[in-house]
Amino acid sequence: MSDNKNFKGWKVCRFDQIATNVNVRIDNPSESGMEHYVGLEHLDADSLKIRRWGTPDDVEATKLVFKKGDIIFGRRRAYQRKLGIAEFDGICSAHALVLRAKPEVVLPEFLPFFMQSDLFMSRAVEISVGSLSPTINWKTMAMQEFALPPLNEQKRILELLEALQVSLHAYDHAAESARTLLSSVVTERMATAATNYGRAKFGDACVRITDGTHQPPNFSESGVPFLLVSNLSSGKIDWEVQKWVSESEYQTLTKSFKPQQGDVLLTLVGSYGVPVFVNWDRPFTFQRHIGILRSNESKIRGEYLYHFLNSPNGQWQCARGAEGLAQKTITLASLKAFELPLPPLEVQDRFIDEISEYVSVVDSVESRRQESATALRTIRELALGGLRV
């Protein structure tokens, strides 16, 4: 262990001396009495704030119970660095650990920052077992040793990190405001189009509406990304995928229909109704819980279709079209029956150009937010990353 004077008074502790693993399980989520369900797909990498969640009715099988203030840590695929502080009571994925700080050793507010550090995350990845879905075992995690500063030093470090966190949250708020403005403009323009132009069913406006492969592919360790619903749940593609297929398997899976730029992806099961516009030419394939829509370019632009699905009316139709009780699903038949206003192509093009300007503002604010996040991470690593056990 380093004898650097900056670490004077730091104490080595096993992780089970630092935090309690809250292993309260519930077998029937819909009878949990909770309002919130947090899956790993709802946790953002390198962010302590939980911004999205579902409901217990969305899921089945055993889940974990958490309380406000607990830490939800994705023990499956720890390399994704998914960690959040609960601001409400609820249930979460059993692929997470629910952790509660032991305040006599670590300040509850300090522990999440420590767990975000490269030091902790690297150890978490090292002890994960499995190939396709490496997972942490609590017994192994409990035995890991880490060096912690004394409580008064934790408080000093915490004050600095929390100040940086306030700045980051300010950018989060600005980004959210920019996204809200974008949404309001889309809503208003779509309402105007609905008043001035006729409507068309998706099945008539698209040349193809289908979903991903229904047969389990032959997965490989690398190759072409295989997308799951969780890779789309944020509204953008998360390319940190857990599954890949070989080039030959990709060609087989896409022999009859290959995704291309201009298509629209839509989650159909679980976290349903999330659209993503394909504006890249990177090859990929995807599971059957994701739909794909290819517009008839003589009638409708794919980007216009994407914005409609993001509008209140589009989301309302997704909610109305979702069928089932245990796990609601948007069927392809119901998707083809969705309706949208269909102005002339030149009107659609003007709409896309206008919306692109608002999207640029959102992207700019989010870029500033990323710079703030980088500054926070740099200071955190300087404060916490220098000591190895």
Rounded mean pLDDT for each run of 10 residues along the chain, 389 residues in total: 58 95 92 91 89 88 94 94 95 95 96 94 94 91 94 92 88 90 93 95 96 90 92 88 92 92 94 94 93 96 96 94 86 96 96 94 89 87 66
Tokens of residue 265, six digits: 């992806």
Q: Is this model's pTM higher than 0.75 or not?
A: no
Q: Return the closest-CA partner of residue 136 out of 209, 83, 90.
A: 83
Instruction: Report the distance separating Cα 239 and Cα 252, nearest Å.
Output: 22
Q: What is the pLDDT of residue 226?
A: 95
Q: What is the pLDDT of residue 385?
A: 62
Strands 290-295 and 206-211: antiparallel
Q: Do 71 and 84 form a contact (C-beta atoms < 8 A)?
A: yes
Q: What is the pLDDT of residue 4?
A: 45
| Max Cα–Cα distance, the chain, nearest Å | 74
Which residues lie below 8 Å from residue 327, measured CB to CB, with a gap of 6+? 58, 59, 60, 269, 270
Q: Return the closest-CA partner of residue 80 out of 45, 113, 112, 131.
A: 45
Q: What is the residue type of 16?
A: D
47 DSSP 8-state letter: -
Q: What is the pLDDT of residue 5?
A: 44
Tell me the angle at which helices 302-310 and 345-384 cross, rounded to the nearest 10 degrees.
Answer: 60
Instruction: Report the distance separating Cα 123 and Cα 111, nearest Å.
Output: 15
Q: Return the closest-CA partner of residue 122 out of 91, 144, 95, 106.
A: 144
40 DSSP 8-state letter: G
Tokens of residue 117, six digits: 């550090």
Q: Which three-class secondary structure state does DSSP give residue 65?
A: strand
Q: Which three-class secondary structure state does DSSP give residue 20?
A: strand
Phi then psi dihedrals of residue 117, to 5 deg = -65, 155
